[in-house]
Amino acid sequence: MGDFYQNGLVTTLHNFHNITLPQLEEKLRKFAKARPMGLIIPALYSELESPALANIVDILKDIDYVGEIVIGLDRASEEQFKYAKEYFKPLSKGLAEPRHKIVWNEGPRMMELKRKLEKKKVNLGELGKGRNVWTCFGYMISSGKSEAIALHDADILTYSAEMLARLYYPVADPTFNYKFCKGYYFRANDVQLNGRVTRLLVTPLLRTLKKFFGPLEYLEFLDSFRYILAGEFSMRADVLKTVRIPSDWGLEVGILSEVQRNNSFSRICQVEIGDAYDHKHQPVSAENPNAGLSKMSNDIARNIYSKLATNGTVFTKGTFRSIKATYQRIALDFVEQFNADAVINGLSIDRDKEERMVDMFAKNIYKAGIEYLDYPYQIPFMPSWKRVLSAMPEVHDEFVQIVEEDNK
């Protein structure tokens, strides 16, 4: 049954299942004449060997309203890049001019551009999804072909044409005022409830921080999103230039923070893009704070603390001790709630694993706070492309030339 409830500071666009995919796509074809659409897919080379990306390519090759597709490729040797060029060829099959380009992030030409930028004091951070997305933003700005731009991951097991159509629609329809749209969905497979980091870390942490600092606008904004860590979002082209991107696991929260800083709430929305969603699951890595969900929880917490600090919130070590204790109590209550929700719907939750995960998150919430107090300048944001273009105006032409040369 459809849900039309509006809560929080941003508009929620539900799926009432009253419009068919062909109807949606016909509208998007009309919108594309005035507002051309581009798609960004950040990917690791290893994902080219997965059935998820193969299915994504198979679906995208038949979607004709998307005029530009940019694949950001990480962890690829020269031979692997050559393979990738063959792998993605179906995306432009039958077209006079290729509509897709691969940004080879570790190619010699891109590495030379990186060195030039670093000489201009433009810090690009470490190799990872954040830098991959940042680079793709830069190429999309440089190409100047797209006005409505979507981004999604390369590991979506439940990908569909409707998912993409619904993600585009809010920023493609010229009668809408939205400049940024976040996708959301139900996270589960046939047997268990997923979405552990959102359920057990982010939402309980936001509720905890609201207890301490009141209903701050920033906290209310983040808490308005139904799936805050969704890697699927769309935006208008001018938003790309102003967004600073974290290079770590705080990517999704960091982008939302930047969008909130630069846009009114009436220009931001979230849209239901699927009845269910599943993708590659990260390991917990409880014994390794620099990997998996352990590192992710630390990075997300630090990004939130950093944003709160810029809004005038003052933290102390004592504050973080209290936040840890309060979070733990609230998160354990959430475990109880989600367990009941899963059971009544015939799904499973491992209570022991979930409570042990809460314990790990609690430690990392405190650890992230102490690290922020000791090293407040180490939040790894990359500069906006507006700043990059100011430091190196010629980067537009050079970027396009590099990608064109690599893709020959």
Q: What does the pLDDT look like over 371-391, one tens digit per residue?
A: 999 987 765 678 889 889 888
Mean pLDDT for the chain? 92
Q: What is the pLDDT of residues 171-204, one digit of tens each?
A: 999 999 999 999 999 887 778 888 899 999 999 9
Q: 32-42, pLDDT tens digit by residue?
A: 999 999 999 99
pLDDT at res. 379:
57
Q: What's the one-letter identity of residue 405?
A: E
pLDDT of residue 248: 66
Q: How confident is the model at residue 112 (pLDDT cuts 50, 70, 90)?
A: very high
Domain 11-406 has CATH 3.90.550.10: yes
Residue with the bigger pLDDT between 5 and 165: it is 165
Q: Judge residue 188's burial from the number of C-beta atoms within 10 Å of its C-beta, 0-12 exposed, 13-18 middle, 19 or more buried.
A: middle
Domain assignments of the chain as residue spans, ordered by start: 11-406
Mean local confidence (pLDDT), 52-70: 97
Band the pLDDT of 1: cuts 50, 70, 90: very low
Q: Residue 282: its pLDDT value, please?
A: 65
Q: What is the CA radius of gyration of the chain?
A: 21
Q: What is the pLDDT of residues 308-360, one digit of tens each?
A: 998 899 999 999 999 999 999 999 999 999 999 999 999 988 999 999 999 99
